[in-house]
Structure 1
């Protein structure tokens, strides 16, 4: 008892401190329980929040790309502020609206057909009454020749080893000489061709073209390199033809125009 009397104040203080510690511990558990309760309420009434979608900057990137490129303004054919619509009257009195600038002139011409021109050789007959060697009658035609009279079929009489100047040389005969199965021809450039009996040998030597110019109702067939055309107030020379294109040369300004064949 004497101990209690001497230290009762300390004992009371210790009890009070222990009580305070207990209160603090209890408050901590109460706070945690209250937080859990509030979290449960948010989940129950509002649901769990969804994550934000990935941020898309595609519009901003596109805008930056546009800003990095210079803006192109077309003040040429398609612009009607500085280039008002023009109309042109043909020689027949027809009015044509010029929208693209190609409604008249060489680009308004249309290639309707391109034809192959052949160089052909055919064995027509064999003559055996002209000495020891037979004479072979060859029909030669060059459809690509520059002059009309040169395009006709020409017959040549030739024996083995002989040459037709500027055309070919008969270098070999296969089979009986009086009834050969084939002839071998050698051209001046070294090319060789085998001419079968009863069958013409031919190769493409050039092309001709058919052209139509609708604004003036002009139609030309069989145009060849060197031919001339007159339309749209100018004269044009045909300077080249291949299997896909025709090239015209304007006499007024020496400008070339390439027309494509679109079958």
Structure 2
């Protein structure tokens, strides 16, 4: 009894610990049993589940295929329900049917001629050791500057505002060739009797607009013309004329084919 009285607390603690250990083992066993039970239930449910049926998407597939082979809606043509045709009266009173839009405006204009504008240097006369040389500058914008200008030069007085005499080939009073340096381009050129120097410095053109019976002759680079309710600036090239609309800066190229003689 004396032993129990002295050590009852330890005995009580041992009993409690033993109970706790037993409870832990019981819980572990119960958890394992529950897991096994749930696995069995889950397995039974999975085995009894009916397989999914494949979805029928044929209607959607058919609709998708139809989008790949569409048929355009024609909103133009002879019926002109949505695009009525424009008719325009010509100077002779006849009506012009405008179908594509190219029947009027700058695309309906025609280039009837393109001619070069020359810089011409020519030996006109020999007087002893002096030479009368003329220059014509057809491309200059001021008409007064385009007229022929004649100047006398010699090896002792070789320079003018247009050119400089560099060399005389052959006898001084009957040269076979005169060599000049041009003032505007500094290029070296040669001339002789009946063999002038010619250089293309620009072009003129003739344009017609039949719809309004208009003709524009001898147009030069940068000139302006007006037809079809629009104004255009002219840009002339060797084989075409480009019309730039002043209202929109839209450019239209008109090809020119020279007539064969």
Q: Per the shorter chain, which TM-score range?
A: 0.5 to 0.7
The 1-side partners of 2:165 and 2:193 are apart by: 14
SS across alignment from 1:262: coil
1:216 to 2:231 alignment: no
Distance of aligned partners of 1:149 and 1:69 in 2 relative to their CA distance in 1, 3 Å threshold: farther
Separation in 2, partners of 1:69, 1:151: 67
Matched, 1:260 2:255: yes
Q: In structure 1, how many angstroms separate the alpha carbons of the residues matched to 2:106 and 2:79?
A: 23
- For residue 183 of structure 1, report the CA deviation from its aligned partner: 0.3
Whole-angstrom CA distance in 1 between matches of 2:119 and 2:95: 45
Q: CA 1:254 to 1:78, structure 2 compared with 1: closer, same or farther past 3 Å?
A: farther
State the Cα distance separating 1:69 from its structure 2 match.
9.5
How far off is 1:224 after superposition?
0.7
- Residue number in structure 2 paired with 1:100: 100
**1:116 is aligned to 2:111:** no
Give me the TM-score of the superposition, normalised by structure 2: 0.64
Q: CA distance change for structure 1 residues 92 and 150 in 2, over 3 Å: closer, same or farther?
A: farther
Matched, 1:185 2:207: no
Note the 1:110-189 alignment, pairs <5 A.
Answer: 110-128=110-128, 134-160=129-155, 162-165=158-161, 167-188=162-183, 189=185
SS of residue in 2 equivalent to 1:164: coil
Q: Deviations over 1:118-150 (max 9, x none)?
A: 11111111234xxxxx32111111111112222
Q: TM-score, normalised by structure 1?
A: 0.64
Quick one: structure 1 residues 241 and 69, their matched pair in 2 at CA, closer, same or farther if it must change by over 3 Å? farther
| 194-203 or 210-219, larger mean C-alpha shift | 194-203
- SS of structure 1 residue aligned to 2:241: strand
1:195 equivalent to 2:191? Answer: yes
CA contact under 8 A between 2:239 and 2:256: conserved in structure 1? yes
Distance 1:77 1:101, change over 3 A: farther
Corresponding pairs, count: 190
1:251 to 1:153, Cα distance in 2 relative to 1, 3 A:
same
The alignment's C-alpha RMSD in Å is: 2.8
State the alpha-carbon separation in 1 of the partners of residues 84 and 105 from structure 2.
Answer: 19
Structure 1 stretches lacking a partner, 5+ long: 1-66, 129-133
Where does the alignment leave 5 or more consecutive residues of structure 2 unmatched? 1-66
